[in-house]
Structure 1
């Protein structure tokens, strides 16, 4: 008998282009470029095949041989997705949860689990990370986080195959952005309840917001220039920022130890 999937069905509300920021970040990640088997799992893909199909399209711009496996606990969603993508090579769908069932001996290089743990308790995060990361390639990563309904606000954790988190990334649509502190509403489950005085992530969000406000003097040069100015100020203040080449996209990555729960 096939074991039951581990976890609960997602809400299934993911829509077109909602995960574009995460997809593009994954597509440019060094682990995808280096691997001999560019299999990426979309865990909890939702009510249709839209997000796995978009993910495959974006991955193939940097890895034409990339393949995607979409996993959902709800068997009706799996059947629907198979029908929607039946003529698309390189994509498949199966029933599964945090145990990440993959046919044969293959292991994914990336597991994307967006808007999945949001419906769980913070105490459930470590076990879920451990289960998923145990299925990765030795150099693989788990990308776990949340975003708003239209993908303009997104945050995610990069977690290694050892289930140890490495970085937090905040990605925002800069046009019309009033305050980057809005990202606090979409922090990963491991951090969202820690945005309070005394916690590291609260200090980071407050610093991000403060430097954005201070950079208002360069706003006439455009929001990207303002964002770069704010990010440089964060770096100068000692925040351990990573992947600076992505600042132009309204992103900032910071090492996990700088935001980890106390």
Structure 2
């Protein structure tokens, strides 16, 4: 067997760490999952414990009852440790960015959470290209970063054609200002949070909208967030979702608006 492509991660994982990302995936990819002939998803680099793969299966099966998840890890010891959690629809395998699924299967979803933070920014486009080439038509690569207990999360959604959107998600009670999410930007963006870059302009404008929406704080953090996102949209930022997503502490913006200069 060829050596898996990639570098072993720290492996840090906690139950429910990726619940915000999973919730968004079930919403955004639900229609494609329901019509897929082979509803298989990959949890790439699930870490030292298989909780995220177990939870992903449960959440996808609320949309597609026969969904399947393959947890891939570059560390054989982690694959062996996950085997007791194997069940109907959930398997574990040794692999990396080559996504080695049997019988030439192509996943509807590849989720790579907290995997690329240890890589250099210049390596990210090639990894994205390699992973999206493995997707089924209509499939989605979701790559991003969150904190240890899943309160703050930012991810990029990438289709077979390339990056589409960036989603910011947070437990609103933990937020002082939207730019607190900057520390969880994915590798493609985290070093671009500097003046002159679009993501910095976005977060600066988001903080300004948050301050303007301060009177809504008396109605709760959720109403303040909703008002802030509405102000962003009214000022021209290409927000792609609606208030039902904003209520959950999310906002999704088109990739082109935040992409690094020269990308």
TM range, normalised to the smaller chain? over 0.9
Distance in 2 between residues matched to 1:142 and 1:34, nearest whole Å: 18
Distance in 1 between residues matched to 2:35 and 2:131, nearest whole Å: 21
SS at match of 2:110: strand
Structure 1 residues 168-192: Cα deviation after superposition (integer angstroms, max 9, x where no partner): 0000111142111111101010000
Q: 2:166 aligns with which of 165, 168, 171?
A: 168
Distance in 1 between residues matched to 2:25 and 2:81, nearest whole Å: 26
1:64-103 aligned at under 5 Å gives the runs: 64-83=65-84, 85-86=85-86, 88-103=87-102
SS at match of 1:242: coil
Tell me which residue corresponds to 2:113. 114
TM-score, scaled relative to structure 1: 0.96
Check whether the contact 1:38–1:108 (CA below 8 A) recurs between aligned residues: yes
Q: Structure 2: which 5+ residue stretches go unaligned?
A: none
Q: 2:185 aligns with which of 177, 187, 194?
A: 187
Tell me which residue corresponds to 2:57. 56
TM-score, scaled relative to structure 2: 0.96
Check whether the contact 1:172–1:180 (CA below 8 A) recurs between aligned residues: no
Distance in 1 between residues matched to 2:107 and 2:25, nearest whole Å: 13
Q: Structure 1: which 5+ residue stretches go unaligned?
A: none
Check whether the contact 1:235–1:241 (CA below 8 A) recurs between aligned residues: yes
Distance in 2 between residues matched to 1:198 and 1:98, nearest whole Å: 32
Tell me which residue corresponds to 1:35. 36
Please report the RMSD computed on the Cα atoms of aligned residues, expressed in angstroms.
1.0
Q: 1:226 to 1:190 in 2, by over 3 A?
A: same
Distance in 1 between residues matched to 2:228 and 2:219, nearest whole Å: 13
Distance in 2 between residues matched to 1:90 and 1:137, nearest whole Å: 18
